[in-house]
Amino acid sequence: MAEPLEAAYKARLPLLEGLCSRLETEVHELLGGLHHIDRICFRVKSPKSFTEKALDPENQPPYSAPLREVEDQVAGRVIVFFLSDMKPIVDQVRTAFTVVERTKRRPARDEEFGYESEHLICIIPPHVKPATWNTHDEMPATIEIQVRTIFMHAYAEPQHDLGYKASRELSRQAKRELAWIAASSWGADQAFDRLLHSLESED
Amino acid sequence: MELFRLHAYSVVPQRTAEEQIPVVGGAIRVNADLRSIMESNLQAADFPRQPTVDFNVDETTRTNEVRDLVMAFAFGDGSPARAAALRLAERLAGAMDLRSSACLFVPVAYRAGTKRRVVLWIFPRDEAFQLHTGGPEGPTIELLKDIFSQTSRHRKSALFEGRELRTDFLQGWVLDLQAKSVNVNLDVASFWITRFLDCVPSMHDEVGSRLLAKAVRKAFERTDVPEQRQQLHAAAMAVRHSPNRRITLSTFANRYLDPDIRPMFLSGLPNDETRHALFTFDRQTFDSVLQFRVFELESGVFVSSPLDQIGESVKVHTGATTELTCQGIVRNEFLRARHG
């Protein structure tokens, strides 16, 4: 099952890459007037990563049409300096994209620290589709845009990499180390935002 | 795809009505003639060349009443499908005010494997003459009142298709000639897309206006024929002043550009879907991208200037009144009718 799916995904890669490049240009232009943007980058999901996600036995319910249903085949990230920069980014994204889902990812319990980010699922607008996009039957209808601060990112990326490398469940010590990094990142974001507002109010 | 379900309801506008008139109708047995007529209507609608719209879904639940009803009509069994069609008809009545005529609402479902397509039609009520000949009193004319027009420019349609997935039926195509016509206000034009379907055009207003400005600028840079440059400039000025702010890039080309320059303008657009995407023209975005400023003088003279010439060959003096002087060598002169 994995091989035909991966082959089908690979066959569409040039179109996905075309979309990815146009999206990145579009979002750069769209957010060009806003301050405190550290970086904007888009990527196409690798065939291996796509197949693993599509066939993950933990998917409930399982994907019946993964080429259509996996929504982060093309995804982008906007990384900003301060917490209060996130809302203007989301508002501006809405001026060009129809958002069908908005999720603020954060730990389930208030006393926990962990991954934080804002995820937007957007319908792909007409003008960023490569010319032959609509002639293929199973192209995705949506893309994902993540908005996060530098500190959210500073926690999320290494944490993801470590989790990916770990072949077994993390030890209690490793979990506590990660929680401490997440808490420190959260604290740094709060402190930076307080500092920003206090300096702005002095002006 | 195989047509497998068709309902029809007579719908009277209810949005501002004092007397409540229920919708009436239901499932229709589809014979060969009706199947053929609906197929002809589908072909005539030419959906691939119509604007796309996105359902305005709740961002936490990914639900939208119309989308849910359309999917229930497509995938549900008899009873849920009937309930969905009736609710759509009632919603349509509630979205229409007295500026719209009564109509026939026809939801149609098609299938192919696990895929479904739903086409929603409204055919406005009309009147027609029927000539009777061969009677004892000679030819007579009968006025037919309770009929619905298949060819009216006020007919509307929407097509949605996909599988029963959370990623499908988020987007569709709309046939709404009224929304693109010149003399119609935005509220009337938006009844089908906004109030009934609860959709938004897939091309958002700022994006469409930005693309239009970029396409004009790109075409301007690609030609060195003075008449073509003049025409592009006149078109840009005309669209800025047009009362009809709902537009597509294709209608802009057809309305304001001569046939010799249209292909150059349209070839600069990314794809066909973009050409036909509907948006509401946003002058501020358009001006900021086009990098032109336009001044209207008391004398009725319009002066348009590239932004980099403001303060150079075009000087604007601000005092009790704002005055403008422009000096330069005339390179070309044109006599043109103004575009509408």
Note whether A96 contacts B: Cβ–Cβ < 8 A.
Answer: yes
The pLDDT of residue B340 is 41
The amino acid present at A3, given as its one-letter code, is E
On chain A, the residues whose CB falls within 8 A of the CB of B211 are 127
The pLDDT of residue B200 is 94
Question: Under an 8 A CB cutoff, do B59 and A99 touch?
Answer: yes
On chain A, the residues whose CB falls within 8 A of the CB of B52 are 126
Question: Under an 8 A CB cutoff, do B207 and A102 touch?
Answer: no
Q: Which two tokens stand for residue A21?
A: 């490049």
Question: Under an 8 A CB cutoff, do B207 and A22 touch?
Answer: no
Residue B180 has pLDDT above 70, yes or no: no
Of the pLDDT bands very low, low, confident and very high (cuts 50, 70, 90), residue B185 is: low
The pLDDT of residue B320 is 85
The pLDDT of residue B187 is 59
- Distance from A160 to chain B by nearest Cα, in Å? 25
Pick the residue with more confidence: B120 or A176?
B120
pLDDT mean over B43-65: 94
Contact yes or no for A74/A45 (Cβ under 8 A): yes
Question: Under an 8 A CB cutoff, do A126 and B54 touch?
Answer: no
Residue B173 has pLDDT above 80, yes or no: yes
Note whether A129 contacts B: Cβ–Cβ < 8 A.
Answer: yes
3-state SS, residue A77? strand
Over the stretch A43-96, which tens digit does the pLDDT of each residue have? 999 999 999 999 999 898 899 999 999 999 999 999 999 999 999 999 999 999
> Quick one: closest CA in B to A104, which residue?
B60
Please report how the helices B205-222 and B226-241 are oriented relative to each other, as an axis angle in degrees rounded to 10.
160
pLDDT mean over A19-33: 95
Of the pLDDT bands very low, low, confident and very high (cuts 50, 70, 90), residue B307 is: low
Residue B166 has pLDDT above 50, yes or no: yes
Question: Under an 8 A CB cutoff, do A142 and B170 touch?
Answer: yes
Of B59, B171, B270, the CB nearest to A127: B270
3-state SS, residue A57? coil
Question: Which has the minimum average pLDDT: A65-69, B18-22, B41-45, B219-223?
Answer: B18-22
The pLDDT of residue B99 is 74
pTM score? 0.87
Of the pLDDT bands very low, low, confident and very high (cuts 50, 70, 90), residue B188 is: low
Contact yes or no for B107/B85 (Cβ under 8 A): yes
Q: Token pair 């934080």 is at which residue?
A: A116
The pLDDT of residue B335 is 60
Mutate to test the interface with B, among A19, A21, A123, A147 (most CBs of B within 10 A): A123
From B177, B246, B211, select the one nearest A126 (Cα to Cα). B211
Over the stretch B221-247, which tens digit does the pLDDT of each residue have? 888 887 888 888 889 988 988 888 889
Of B52, B59, B166, the CB nearest to A126: B52
pLDDT mean over B32-51: 94
Note whether A101 contacts B: Cβ–Cβ < 8 A.
Answer: yes
Over the stretch B241-255, which tens digit does the pLDDT of each residue have? 888 888 999 999 999
3-state SS, one letter per residue, for chain B: CEEEEEEEEEECCCCCCCCCCCCEEEECCCCHHHHHHHHHHHHHHCHHHCCEEEECCCCCCCCCHHHHHHHHHHHCCHHHHHHHHHHHHHHHHHHCCCCCCCEEEEEEEEEECCEEEEEEEEEEEEEEEEEECCCCCCCEEEEEEEEECCCCCCCEEEEEEECCCCCCCCEEEEEEHHHHCCCCCHHHHHHHHHHHCCEEECCCHHHHHHHHHHHHHHHHHHCCCHHHHHHHHHHHHHHHHCCCCEECHHHHHHHHCCCCCHHHHHHCCCCHHHHCCCEECCHHHHHHHHCEEEEECCCCCEEEEEHHHECCCEEEEECCCEEEEECCCCCCCCCCCCCC
Of the pLDDT bands very low, low, confident and very high (cuts 50, 70, 90), residue B339 is: very low
The pLDDT of residue B334 is 64
Of B55, B167, B272, the CB nearest to A69: B167
Residue A24 has pLDDT above 90, yes or no: yes
Residue B197 has pLDDT above 50, yes or no: yes
Of B163, B204, B207, the CB nearest to A65: B163
Of the pLDDT bands very low, low, confident and very high (cuts 50, 70, 90), residue B181 is: low
Q: Which two tokens stand for residue A33?
A: 């007037």
CA gap B66, B249 in Å, rounded:
28
On chain A, the residues whose CB falls within 8 A of the CB of B171 are 123, 141
On chain B, the residues whose CB falls within 8 A of the CB of A133 are 271
From B192, B186, B193, B174, select the one nearest B103 (Cα to Cα). B192
Question: Under an 8 A CB cutoff, do B167 and A129 touch?
Answer: no
Over the stretch B57-103, which tens digit does the pLDDT of each residue have? 999 999 999 999 999 999 999 899 999 999 999 999 999 887 778 89
Question: Under an 8 A CB cutoff, do B60 and A140 touch?
Answer: no
The pLDDT of residue B151 is 83
Q: Which two tokens stand for residue A133?
A: 């996009």
- Beta-carbon neighbour count of residue B213 at 10 Å? 21
The pLDDT of residue A174 is 86
Q: Which two tokens stand for residue A175?
A: 């979990």
Of the pLDDT bands very low, low, confident and very high (cuts 50, 70, 90), residue B150 is: confident
Average pLDDT, chain B: 88
Question: Under an 8 A CB cutoff, do B167 and A68 touch?
Answer: yes
The pLDDT of residue A161 is 80
- Distance from A141 to chain B by nearest Cα, in Å? 7
The pLDDT of residue B147 is 87
The pLDDT of residue B310 is 76
Of the pLDDT bands very low, low, confident and very high (cuts 50, 70, 90), residue B119 is: very high
Note whether A141 contacts B: Cβ–Cβ < 8 A.
Answer: yes
